[in-house]
Amino acid sequence: MGNPTKGGGVEHASYTTKFGSLASFDKGGVDLINDDARHYAFSNIFEVASKSQPWEKVAVAKNFEYVLEVVRAEGTSPWSTAAHDQFAVCMDGAITVELVKLADSPLADDAEGSVTLGGEPEGARMGKIHLRHGHQALLPAGSAYRFVTAHPSVLMIQTIAGPETQFRWAEICQTV
């Protein structure tokens, strides 16, 4: 409820939201009360992206087979596909998503995670999506997609862990 003030009102805590970016972020952390830091994974997506190579897919959260991957976006990515829907959120910068409906998918229907395609995909062009900070795009199953950006940017992709998902828990977990 808060603390009463002289005027009979309630005193409220004041918080300021600060949006991070690849160029400016705070490391952050977890305040533990009577527990062990080894039980938690806590990372700053911008810190992870700042230490990643362009287009690496680094898991920062996992729930069963589902992951949130952070991707440092620079230039033009290779074409990728997945047998399941994925969602990409632009966390920093501006990114264009190019989509192609694949004529023939190279993946089994039960394949998990995204896979890089070799070369240009064959199929009908589906269009482009222009993302800015906070915008989300659906990456539909059975389509090929690539990302294009003029400046280093950050993507977060909700997907299923796959062969290209990198797990770097030892590098991104708080241990103290």
Residue 118's alpha-carbon distances to 3, 80, 113, 172, in angstroms, are 62, 9, 16, 31
d(CA 150, CA 7): 55
48: enclosing H helix or E strand: helix 45-50
Q: Encoding tokens for residue 169?
A: 């828990």
Per-residue confidence of the chain (176 residues) as pLDDT tens digits? 444 455 556 677 776 777 788 888 877 666 666 777 665 555 589 999 999 999 999 999 999 999 999 999 999 999 999 999 999 999 999 999 999 999 998 998 889 999 999 899 999 999 999 999 999 999 999 999 999 999 999 999 999 999 999 999 878 776 65
Tens digit of pLDDT for each residue in 69-99? 999 999 999 999 999 999 999 999 999 999 9
Are residues 125 and 79 in contact, defined by beta-carbon separation less than 8 angstroms? no
**148: DSSP letter:** E
The domains of the chain are located at 51-172
Q: Is 55 left (phi over 0), alpha (psi -120 to 50) or beta?
A: left
Tens digit of pLDDT for each residue in 11-31? 777 767 777 888 888 776 666
Q: Give the whole-number percent of the chain exceeding pLDDT 70.
A: 83
**Domain 51-172, classified CATH 2.60.40.2240, yes or no:** no
